[in-house]
Amino acid sequence: MPQPVDVDDLRQGLLGVGYVADAGLATALACGVSLGRAILLEGDAGVGKTDAARALAAVFGAQLLRLQCYEGLDLAAAAYDWNYGKQLLAIRTAEASERPGADEARRIPDLYGDEFLIRRPLLAALGATRERGIVLLIDEIDRADDEFEAFLLEFLADFAISIPERGTIAATHPPIVVLTSNRTRDLHDALKRRCFYHWIGHPTVEREIEIIRLHLPDVAPELAGDVARAAANLRERGLRKAPGIAESLDWTQTLGLLGARRLETEVFEPSLGSVLKYPEDIDLARASAAAIVAAARGPSTGSG
């Protein structure tokens, strides 16, 4: 049985490995871990869904297995496959060493033994031990198709995979499962019902500063503040793609490379490509460059 994990302890632990989680996210993760249930994280691209799983693995000293979903993802790529080359070789070897009069049944080797089985992430995730747990990250589940989602239901319910040639393989120590979705389509209710759900929103300015400084300790504190405020300002402008934390980090790094210690008008435009990814958005930001830079530098220069 999974061990209960205290919410605040988990939050501290995540912070210790460089991930800033708010109370909601920490609670959802703690619930999932404590009850041995999957956690479904939704949110815009770049808000730290995948990193949450990575951090969770680091906190528990567990191995992280990542399964990137795509349309057409099938069991051979997600769960298990057979090593056909090896199987063929085994058949040929058996034929070559065949003695006349040998027992008919012994002529054909067992082609479905462990040595022929290739373990893909889902099957590998069932191999957790008491000493070393496993965090299974099923990334961008919304990109997979319905058929795969249906299979996942079975997997999440029992933490077992049935292989027709071998029978059912079940986990002795269930893995911690994290699913992420960008919401390119709605997931089935049956799948959602089996998960704890959390929507990761864009962070507050304070939290974003914390994250930037945690990830980029060499950056000037003022610059981190400027970027966080500018990102918050950009997110309010109805862009096609509002910048996520990943973009803020990229932006900070870019500005650092450009030698900036504060967000200035001169570096604002050249660095926009690291934070906005649509030409329309860049045009829009350019048009209000002065306002954004002013907002970014507001609190420390004025009374704000």
> Which region, judged by CB under 8 A, interacts with other proteins, from 32-40, 131-139, 152-160, 286-294?
32-40
Least CB distance to other proteins at residue 103 (A): 13
**CA-CA distance, 49 to 21, in Å (whole number)?**
11
Under the binding rule (CB under 8 A), the answer on residue 6 touching other proteins is yes
**CA-CA distance, 295 to 237, in Å (whole number)?**
13
Under the binding rule (CB under 8 A), the answer on residue 114 touching other proteins is no
> Which region, judged by CB under 8 A, interacts with other proteins, from 55-63, 91-99, 129-137, 218-226?
91-99
Cβ closest to other proteins, residue 143 vs residue 173: 143
Of 27, 63, 68, 288, the one binding other proteins by CB under 8 A: 27
**CA-CA distance, 294 to 278, in Å (whole number)?**
23
Residues 188-217 that bind other proteins (CB under 8 A): 189, 192-193, 196-204, 207
Using CB under 8 A as the criterion, which residues of the chain lie in contact with other proteins when the complex forms? 4-7, 22-24, 27-28, 30-32, 34-35, 37, 42, 44, 70-72, 74, 76, 81-82, 84, 87-88, 91, 94-95, 107-108, 111, 145, 147, 165, 183-186, 189, 192-193, 196-204, 207, 235, 238, 240, 242, 280
